[in-house]
Amino acid sequence: MSKYIRNRLCIPIQGFNRAIIYDLIRNDYFFISNEIFSLINSSGIIKFENEFESTDWIDFLLSEEILFKIENDIELNNFPEVDRQFQTPFLISDVIIHDNIEVSLFSELFGKIDVRNISIIVKHYDKTRINYIIKNISKLEVDSIHLILIEENRDYSPSDFRNLVKFNQVFAILLFNSSYSNYTNNNSEFFKIIEYSNSFTEYSANVYKNKLSINFDHFFEAYNYHNYFNKKIYIDNLGNIKNGLNSYDIFGNILKISKDNFINIIQSNNFQKKWSIKKKNTLICKDCEFRYMCVDPRDVKLNENSNLWFHEYECNYNPFISKWKGEQGYSNLSDSGILVTEKSFEIDKKVLKKKLARLWSK
Ligand code: SF4
């Protein structure tokens, strides 16, 4: 019987109905069945009991260098396990702010805090104002800046952003339901310009297929924490301090508190409570194969029955039937036999089995 070892940077993650191999080298992913998952989810030597029946899978996994064939067991020593812990030197990894709040206030509050990224939500495009904000933000200890331009139906051109090229922290400019025509100069050599066809309101409310992404940091953070909340701060357009854009709780208002008070708030257990949520402790998401590549912006509540977290409205993906909203055969959770509320979590196995048989039986 042949022996194989799994590439340590191709990590299989199981979902309810299928599994995914996260390829952290090529930032890509491959769907596999849960049966194949249970065979290759091992850090030891892998054998296929019925090699003949698995030939297609074995060929595929070898061709993608997800598995390597070995002759001698000692070769296992060349494949040490990857440490899946996640650590970051930043107290705050991401801050989201609105452009209407006076930028000097942010400079004062975040002046002595190491922040990885600041995202600025800009309601109306105004070149001079944007330049002023970025100039001030770029003086802070911040690795990158994302500019989120939410005004729709605009046609931007390189000249709109040429002034920003000199600020090397500007990492990406996000456009919503607008376009970018690059006829002359290519600003994208300096920063990314990302166009979304939906509105920012839609984009920021839920998970979409085009928001999934795989990379080292994203995977390991999501593996250990709920990556939307962990070390994140959102300051809304009124100055309220929140955990995220769709969060229910308000922890204070930056227009009314001192800098010391602000630091006390963001270091408090109350504010950081959601930082320790894990996907594996979140109903529905814990059964989803995409859980370490999505950034889920929905707020969470505690389900009293299971003591796990849950969301009040559904994700665009239903992991129990492996369908995205809009795809043929999609149905929501309740039509698939899944009931989740503050007080209960139930699966009607009969309904779900029927649905799965209709969708996926050959
Ligand atoms: S169900 Fe949860 S884990 Fe899956 S894509 Fe949606 S938000 Fe992400």
Report the atom number in ligand 1 closest to the C-alpha of 291.
Answer: 3
Does the beta carbon of 311 lie inside 6 Å of ligand 1? no
What number of CA atoms fall less than 13 Å from residue 190's CA on the CB side?
A: 16
Q: How far are the Cα atoms of 96, 99, 107, 235, 338 from residue 262, in angstroms, in the given order?
A: 15, 19, 13, 12, 41
Closest residue by Cα to atom 3, ligand 1, is 291
Best of 284, 293, 309 for a ligand 1 pocket test (most atoms within 8 Å of beta carbon): 284
Mean pLDDT throughout 207-231? Answer: 95
pLDDT at position 188 is 58
pLDDT at position 106 is 87
Burial of 148 (0-12, 13-18, 19+ CB in 10 A): buried
Does the beta carbon of 319 lie inside 6 Å of ligand 1? yes
Closest residue by Cα to atom 6, ligand 1, is 315
pLDDT at position 260 is 92
pLDDT at position 112 is 78
CATH architecture, domain defined by 92-204+230-272: Alpha-Beta Barrel (3.20)
- 111 Cα–ligand 1 center, Å: 35
Does the beta carbon of 67 lie inside 6 Å of ligand 1? no
Residue whose token pair is 């990224």: 117
Does the beta carbon of 285 lie inside 6 Å of ligand 1? yes
Residue 14 banded pLDDT, cuts 50, 70, 90? very high
Residue 161 banded pLDDT, cuts 50, 70, 90? very high
State whether residue 212 is helix, strand or coil.
coil
Q: What is the ipTM of this complex?
A: 1.00
Q: CA-to-CA distance for 113 and 99, rounded, in angstroms?
A: 20
State pLDDT tens for residues 177-205.
999 987 655 555 678 899 999 999 999 99
- 289 Cα–ligand 1 center, Å: 8
| Residue, of 322 and 340, whose pLDDT is higher | 322
Closest residue by Cα to atom 1, ligand 1, is 285
pLDDT at position 11 is 98
pLDDT at position 189 is 64
Does the beta carbon of 36 lie inside 6 Å of ligand 1? no
pLDDT of 13 above 90: yes
pLDDT of 238 above 60: yes
Domain ranges of the chain: 3-78, 92-204+230-272, 279-360
Q: CA-to-CA distance for 67 and 59, rounded, in angstroms?
A: 9
Does the beta carbon of 315 lie inside 6 Å of ligand 1? yes
State pLDDT tens for residues 107-140.
888 887 889 999 999 999 999 999 999 999 999 8
The encoded tokens of residue 125 equal 């495009």
Residue whose token pair is 């000692």: 74
